[in-house]
Amino acid sequence: MGFSLIKIINKLFASKKETKNNKDLKKILIVGLGNPGPEYKYTRHNIGFLAADRLADKLKTDFKTERYGEVAKGNYKGKRFIILKPSTYMNLSGKAVRYWLEKEKIDKNNLMIITDDVNLEFGTIRIRAKGSDGGHNGLKSIQELTGGNQYPRLRFGIGNDYQRGGQADYVLGKWTEKQIKELPDYLDIISNALINFAQEGLQRTMNKYNAKPNK
């Protein structure tokens, strides 16, 4: 009888622990990379901020100024979203990401970074489970301060229409008029991909969205 009672108690505690872990897995940290300030808002380097804004709109939530960034929190079909726009500037993005991972007790597998990529044609989406920083200072900072490059990221192609040595000016430059007209549709696709990531996981999201989007 005593042995059976111990088994029941152990099973009860194990069940509570499993429930807690499942609850933790429902929390997602979405980080849009960019630079704070109105002068950067519509630059190519700030696609992450624009995507974060669109996702917050979709979840009907607002950003508030908190430590290391603007943060919006919302729920969607049982998933808890923490959406972060770091205020640390691009080169120190890892500081904000590390803080919010630790504060919200979120595993890096439940992190999604949104960033620009000059190696992809405009409008192309590439989602990966891990990868190098590719020379991107924001990803480099995250890698250094969170302990490695094994975290999901969504890269949005901004093209590379610049002369040799002109990359910095290009990524900090404004979108073309044509791109500005097309961006809202792409931002909708990105926000849908982020929700899909929370609902169906990384692999299915990669299978569905790793292509040039058909608007």
**Domain definitions of the chain by residue range:** 25-209
Quote the crossing angle between the two packed helices 137-146 and 93-104, to the nearest 10°: 40
pLDDT at 18: 38
Q: What is the CATH number of domain 25-209?
A: 3.40.50.1470
What is the mean pLDDT of the segment spanning 11-18? 49
pLDDT at 68: 97
The residues annotated as belonging to the active site are 45
pTM listed for this prediction: 0.85
Distances (CA, A) of 137 to 95, 116, 128, 143: 13, 11, 18, 10
Rg for the chain (alpha carbons), in Å?
19
What is the mean pLDDT of the segment spanning 17-35? 71
Q: Spell out where the chain has E strands.
A: 27-32, 64-66, 69-76, 79-86, 111-117, 125-128, 153-157
Q: Which residue has the higher pLDDT, 3 or 125?
A: 125
